[in-house]
Structure 1
């Protein structure tokens, strides 16, 4: 099983889109173990959205769709319209 996931930094208002075969470890990596500049710079990331796929090829195809202008607009609309918890 492969997961396409979207992380959101509420502090910096940034999204990060990727895919993985191990979502739990990837989340830990982004928030605690990452060594690359962007995952570190925009911490703390929250899991905002995810979809699961049977094959890696399907996950990569969906990841690429979400990284298009239309895909990013779809995600930003979801972020803007999500219910607020007080």
Structure 2
């Protein structure tokens, strides 16, 4: 995570650093990971995040 999120000098989220990992989930294949990422970006997925992930 360090080189990808902390050392970059440009991008959409560069001004919101430093990043902190609050949730990690591993997948057996890339397709399942992409499907889960898409789910998290939906309204239902964002509600799930709010309910299950502690950001403090």
TM-score (norm 2): 0.77
Higher strand share: 1
Distance 2:5 2:23 in 1: 15
Distance 2:26 2:19 in 1: 20
Q: Which runs of 5+ in 1 are unaligned?
A: 1-26
> Aligned pair 1:55/2:39, yes or no?
no
Aligned-residue Cα RMSD (Å) equals 1.7
Q: Bigger relative contact order, structure 1 or 2, given CA contacts below 8 A and separation 6+?
A: 1
| Residue 34 (structure 1) shift | 4.5
Q: Once the two structures are superposed, what CA deviation does each residue of 1:19-67 show, in whole Å capped at 9, x if it has no partner?
A: xxxxxxxx212122252132x1110110011111111101000111111
Name the CA shift for 1:53/1:33 in 2 (closer, same or farther; >3 Å): same
* Matched length: 54
| Residue 76 (structure 1) shift | 1.7
Q: Which runs of 5+ in 2 are unaligned?
A: none
